[in-house]
């Protein structure tokens, strides 16, 4: 990538940063202004980049995260410490789940720092915030030197794109308008695979697959992050190998594909999928993280000797480790080489079909029935965003279609992700229909970001699971504990408070059917469905999870 930026020395550091963000395709930026970043915010306002103000800094982080997952790279801008430190949790989640977010923070000017005065917002010393984000980001820079500022911006943004993880840029407020003497043309180096390692790894993997009795593809989140969906499908279709996905990788391919079996979740998932994957003598794991959630709380029984494990950070074939082999190159070479699998392969459980939903109008609404009805409503351009808890576990039963996106903090599991993430998703893809599935506890953390839906007339549909508290924790730690309860809100009346949108109070299947149909037809603003659930109601997936995790959660130390 070469920047078209002129090298006449008239471009300021702030202008250069804005231009480079646009070079990476960032058209929108989220955040909240503050005095240390107002000068840069003014520059943003005058630029082609659309600035989206949020209700809280952590909401801006979640919005930028979702934008990045859909658009390719996202950005947010906040002020010093009170803004920056408020967004730590969002950035930590983006790092954990490999989401390329650029965090820009203002800071005190260099001239203000003389004699180390006690300036507002400062914690310990002027370096504190930078040191914090050094632990949470893959790269960072403080633009405190005009001679190196442009190079530092280029280095950090290149790392964000390459590693699909967040980066940090801190700009002192008196450096925003500084124009360095030169603005060298930036040539972004493209990382290359070691050609010999790539060739050897491809050949070993291909022969391993060809000799296997029952190979299976297990697709993970990095297939999505690196835009490898099409080449992964080409490998599957050219070989006839059946596919499964991890929870983090849900929606990476259309779940209506004839070779798709479903989610592999160890003992948490469908028995027939678990059995097929674990009886495979060659599991081809592409872009898959070995997390506890992905592995069904460590109930997965996968023998590493039977696996080809390929991610952006590691390539391991049985006990052989290959270095400097990029995931996209490895997958592409496998397709180009051609893999001839044994025929016929054992029959995979790919012919599953859901029973058509039959509404029971007067029955109390239950979460599993709600998901079944929602599943019928999904379209190819729907984006489903699930918060953690049963919002996530129940939503794994949805069937993604076409390029339907499914977003959730399924590994980092931070409550409050979904509503602000919907803002980022709708900004990234204005034509899509965005559906949020969120519990009442998570909604009370960040749900006021619905205000932005009203302000921008976004037709986001919020399915609010109202069971009066933290349903997952009730199962993990049974008993009448007040700490698992939240104060009841009249969620369906929020549109009246916010001045726009429509609210629905849902008690029965008939209520939900009518409300969902009306919300789907309404594109004038957001819809909030206050779905009144029995506090003891939960999905089967959550029941299985709780049965496995409860002994660990409730264990007592002895001795």
Q: What is the CATH number of the domain that holds 271?
A: 3.40.50.1220
Most confident of 13-27, 115-129, 265-279, 531-545: 13-27
pLDDT level of residue 408 (50, 70, 90 thresholds): very high
Give mean pLDDT, residues 511-538: 96
Work out the percent of the chain whose per-residue pLDDT is above 90. Answer: 70
379 and 489 share one domain: yes
105 and 65 share one domain: yes
Distances (CA, A) of 14 to 81, 106, 185, 492, 511: 20, 11, 17, 43, 52
Q: How many domains does the chain have?
A: 3
Structure confidence at residue 182 (pLDDT): 73
Structure confidence at residue 203 (pLDDT): 97
Domain that holds residue 256: 195-337
pLDDT level of residue 508 (50, 70, 90 thresholds): very high
The domain that contains 501 carries what CATH number? Answer: 3.40.50.970
Contacts 24+ apart (CB under 8 A), 152-160: 153/13, 153/16, 153/17, 153/20, 154/3, 154/20, 154/186, 154/188, 156/102, 157/20, 157/21, 157/24, 157/102, 158/188, 158/189, 160/24, 160/73, 160/100, 160/101, 160/102
Structure confidence at residue 556 (pLDDT): 58
Residue 206 to residue 229: CA distance in whole angstroms: 19
Q: Is the pLDDT of residue 294 over 60?
A: no
Residue 263 to residue 247: CA distance in whole angstroms: 6
Q: Is the pLDDT of residue 34 over 90?
A: no
Kindly report whether the global pTM for this prediction surpasses the value 0.75: yes
How is 274-307 classified by DSSP, letter by letter?
A: HHHHHT-SEEEEES----TTTTTTTT----GGGE
Residue 180 lies in a domain: no
Pairing of strands 315-317, 320-322: antiparallel
Whether residue 372 contacts residue 513, with contact meaning beta carbons closer than 8 Å, is answered with no
431 and 474 share one domain: yes
Structure tokens at 123: 């914690």
CB within 8 Å of 133: residues ≥ 6 apart? 84, 88, 91, 103, 140, 168
Q: Is the pLDDT of residue 299 over 60?
A: no
Give mean pLDDT, residues 424-435: 97
Residue 4 to residue 535: CA distance in whole angstroms: 58
Residue 6 lies in a domain: no
CB within 8 Å of 181: residues ≥ 6 apart? 9, 146, 147
Whether residue 75 contacts residue 101, with contact meaning beta carbons closer than 8 Å, is answered with yes
Considering only CA atoms, which of 368, 359, 422 is closest in space to residue 531?
Answer: 368
pLDDT level of residue 10 (50, 70, 90 thresholds): confident
18 and 167 share one domain: yes
> Would you say how long the chain is, in residues?
559
Residue 317 lies in a domain: yes
Structure confidence at residue 291 (pLDDT): 66
Give mean pLDDT, residues 498-517: 98
284 and 426 share one domain: no
119 and 219 share one domain: no
Residue 552 lies in a domain: no
40 and 156 share one domain: yes
pLDDT level of residue 217 (50, 70, 90 thresholds): very high
Residue 187 lies in a domain: no
Residue 7 lies in a domain: no
Q: Is the pLDDT of residue 7 over 50?
A: no
Residue 417 to residue 97: CA distance in whole angstroms: 13
51 and 110 share one domain: yes
Residue 549 lies in a domain: no
Q: Is the pLDDT of residue 371 over 80?
A: yes
Residue 474 lies in a domain: yes
Tell me the average pLDDT of the chain: 89
């Amino acid at each position: 990538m070469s920047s078209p930026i002129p090298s006449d020395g008239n471009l300021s550091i702030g202008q250069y940063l804005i231009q480079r963000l646009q070079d990476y395709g960032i058209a929108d930026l989220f955040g909240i202004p503050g005095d240390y970043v107002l000068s840069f915010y003014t520059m943003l306002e005058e630029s082609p980049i659309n600035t989206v103000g949020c209700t809280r800094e952590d909401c801006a982080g979640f919005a930028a995260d979702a934008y990045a997952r859909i658009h390719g790279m996202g950005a947010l801008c906040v002020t010093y410490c009170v803004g920056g430190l408020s967004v730590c949790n969002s950035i930590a989640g983006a790092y954990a789940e490999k989401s390329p977010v650029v965090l820009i923070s203002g800071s005190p000017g260099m001239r203000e720092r003389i004699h180390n005065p006690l300036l507002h917002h400062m914690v310990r010393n002027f370096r504190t915030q930078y040191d914090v984000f050094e632990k949470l980001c893959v790269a960072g820079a403080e633009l405190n030197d005009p001679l190196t500022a442009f190079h530092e911006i280029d280095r950090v943004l290149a790392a964000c794109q390459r590693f699909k993880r967040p980066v940090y840029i801190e700009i002192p407020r008196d450096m925003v308008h500084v124009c360095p003497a030169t603005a060298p043309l930036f040539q972004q180096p493209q990382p290359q695979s070691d050609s010999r390692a790539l060739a050897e790894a491809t050949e070993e993997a291909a022969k391993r697959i060809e000799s296997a009795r029952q190979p299976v593809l297990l697709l993970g989140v990095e297939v999505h992050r690196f835009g490898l969906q099409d080449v992964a499908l080409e490998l599957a279709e050219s070989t006839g190998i059946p596919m499964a996905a991890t929870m983090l990788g849900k929606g990476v391919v259309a779940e209506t594909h004839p070779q798709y079996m479903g989610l592999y979740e160890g003992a948490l998932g469908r028995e027939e999928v678990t059995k097929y994957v674990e009886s495979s003598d060659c599991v081809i794991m592409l872009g898959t993280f070995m997390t506890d959630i992905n592995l069904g709380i460590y109930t997965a029984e996968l023998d590493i000797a039977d696996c080809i494990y390929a991610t952006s950070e590691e390539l391991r074939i049985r006990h052989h480790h290959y270095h400097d082999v990029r995931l996209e190159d490895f997958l592409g070479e496998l397709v180009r080489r051609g893999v001839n699998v044994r025929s016929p392969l054992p029959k995979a459980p790919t012919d599953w079909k859901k029973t058509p939903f039959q509404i029971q109008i007067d029955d109390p609404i239950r979460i599993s029935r709600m998901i079944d009805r929602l599943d019928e409503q999904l379209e190819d351009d729907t984006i489903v965003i699930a918060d953690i808890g049963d919002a996530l576990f129940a939503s794994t039963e949805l069937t993604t279609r076409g390029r339907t996106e499914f977003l959730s903090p399924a590994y980092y599991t931070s409550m409050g992700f979904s509503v602000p993430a919907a803002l980022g998703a709708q900004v990234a893809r204005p034509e899509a229909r965005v559906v949020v599935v969120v519990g009442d506890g998570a909604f009370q953390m960040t749900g006021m970001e619905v205000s932005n839906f009203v302000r921008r007339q976004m037709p986001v549909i919020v399915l609010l699971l109202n069971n009066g508290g933290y349903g997952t924790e009730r199962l993990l730690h049974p008993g009448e504990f007040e700490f698992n309860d939240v104060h009841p809100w009249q969620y369906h009346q929020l549109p009246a408070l916010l001045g726009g949108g429509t609210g629905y109070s849902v008690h029965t299947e008939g209520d939900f059917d009518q409300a969902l149909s009306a919300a789907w037809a309404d594109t004038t603003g957001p819809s909030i469905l206050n779905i009144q659930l029995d506090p003891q109601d939960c999905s089967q997936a959550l029941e299985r999870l709780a049965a496995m995790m409860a002994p660990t959660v409730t264990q007592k130390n002895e001795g």
